A and B are shown apart, each in its own frame.
Chain A
Amino acid sequence: MGYATAEWQGPPQPPEIDRRLRFQRVQAIGVPILLLLPTLALLGVFDGTGTKSAEGSGLRVTVEYPARVRYRSREPLTVSVENTGGRALAEATVRFDRDFLRAFSGVSLMPEPEAVTREHFVVTLRDIRPGEARRVSGELEAEAYGRHRGAVEVVPGEDGGGEAVRIPVETITYP
């Protein structure tokens, strides 16, 4: 049994053709449809954070919330409260709509809510001096599909007086 060197001495190679792109009808229609999902995903359609700010009653409130989420994904929720007034705020409270939070499971907020009423989760922020800021941060795990609307309210408290600053939020949860 003999051996030879490893050079191509085999059958004829296939001839080359004029290579052109030709798509079947189903591909011409289907590929753009298939391409749509990754493109939308890269553009951030399926996940995104919303940021809203409002001022009033000596407060500047900024809410960062999950605007678009996918089922069971955990997303951050942050509320920043800055005292822009001239007086210290002893007992400002941040109120989260319970109806809104009901669309999520595993809701964790820091600092933890001191009270849960029929309508709100209430987090108390103590001793915010003029120019100072406090933050409530947490995580939400998307549970219910669909569009969920609610609001985050910051009430200056008795010392600060004034109206509550209300920021409406909306989250779309994809299945």
Chain B
Amino acid sequence: MEIVLRVAVIYLFVMFGLRVIGKREFAQLTTLELVTIMLIPEIVSQALTREDASVAGALIGVSTLFCLVFFTSVLMQKSKKVEDVISDKPALLVAHGKFLEDSMNQERVTPGEVFNEMHRAGLERLEQVKWAVLESDGKISIIPEEAADRDKGVGADQEGVAA
């Protein structure tokens, strides 16, 4: 039935679109980003169901979406390559107290945003930051110089994985 194919096509396209515009866009919603998120369902809803008012159509559409989400996560779990294609990799923004300018420009992160996260972590100067990482979910993690030094050696132990 058509609705299954429509949901699959829209799902893949939206996933592709979100992957392309980057992780930063949906982590902290600006007005523009909020409008984007609100408009997506408005735009695609007609295309998804084509005025299908039936409960059967709704159930088919929702179960199709659930199945797509589930099988996407299964593929990501099974294959590292698929995971790399679908989910964004973390990006390093600051290393040893220095901005990584190319990376910040590529990810469209401003110095002010990094400083905001530093302040939340209780840091005031860039030199106090060993690493600032833009994670896959769009959040910025701050690892202070002291914490990184203190944990040296512990990280090496953690690299092994229990069976």
Q: Is B truly associated with A?
A: yes
Residue numbers of A with Cβ under 8 A of B are 1-12, 15-17, 19, 21, 27, 31, 34-38, 41-42, 44, 46-47, 70-73, 174-175
Residue of B nearest to A23 (CB): B74
A12 B155 Cβ-Cβ under 8 A: yes
Interface of A is mostly: loop
- B residues less than 8 Å from A11 (CB atoms): 131, 133, 143, 148, 155
A174 B56 Cβ-Cβ under 8 A: yes
- Could you show 25 A-B contacts with beta carbons less than 8 Å apart? A2-B97, A3-B98, A3-B99, A5-B102, A9-B96, A10-B90, A11-B143, A11-B155, A15-B159, A15-B161, A27-B70, A34-B70, A36-B63, A38-B64, A41-B1, A41-B4, A46-B56, A70-B52, A70-B54, A70-B57, A71-B53, A72-B53, A174-B54, A174-B55, A174-B56
User: In the complex, which of the residues A6, A36, A44, A46 has the most CB atoms of chain B within 10 Å of its own CB atom?
Assistant: A6
Q: With A31-B67, A34-B66, A71-B54 in contact, do A6 and B4 touch (Cβ < 8 Å)?
A: no
How far, in whole Å, are A17 and B159 apart by their CA atoms in the complex?
11
Q: With A11-B148, A31-B70 in contact, do A6 and B100 touch (Cβ < 8 Å)?
A: yes
How far, in whole Å, are A12 and B1 apart by their CA atoms in the complex?
48
A3 B3 Cβ-Cβ under 8 A: no
How far, in whole Å, are A168 and B126 apart by their CA atoms in the complex?
82
- Having A38-B67, A46-B1, one finds 10 other A-B pairs with CB under 8 Å, namely A4-B98, A11-B131, A12-B155, A16-B80, A19-B80, A21-B74, A41-B64, A71-B53, A71-B55, A175-B56
How far, in whole Å, are A144 and B3 apart by their CA atoms in the complex?
22
A138 smallest CB distance to B (angstroms): 19
How far, in whole Å, are A120 and B97 apart by their CA atoms in the complex?
86
B133 A10 Cβ-Cβ under 8 A: yes
A37 B60 Cβ-Cβ under 8 A: yes
B59 A3 Cβ-Cβ under 8 A: no
How far, in whole Å, are A101 and B31 apart by their CA atoms in the complex?
52
Question: With an 8 A cutoff between CB atoms, is B110 at the interface?
Answer: no
A15 smallest CB distance to B (angstroms): 5
A175 B55 Cβ-Cβ under 8 A: yes
Question: With an 8 A cutoff between CB atoms, is B30 at the interface?
Answer: no
A4 B99 Cβ-Cβ under 8 A: yes
How far, in whole Å, are A50 and B106 apart by their CA atoms in the complex?
57
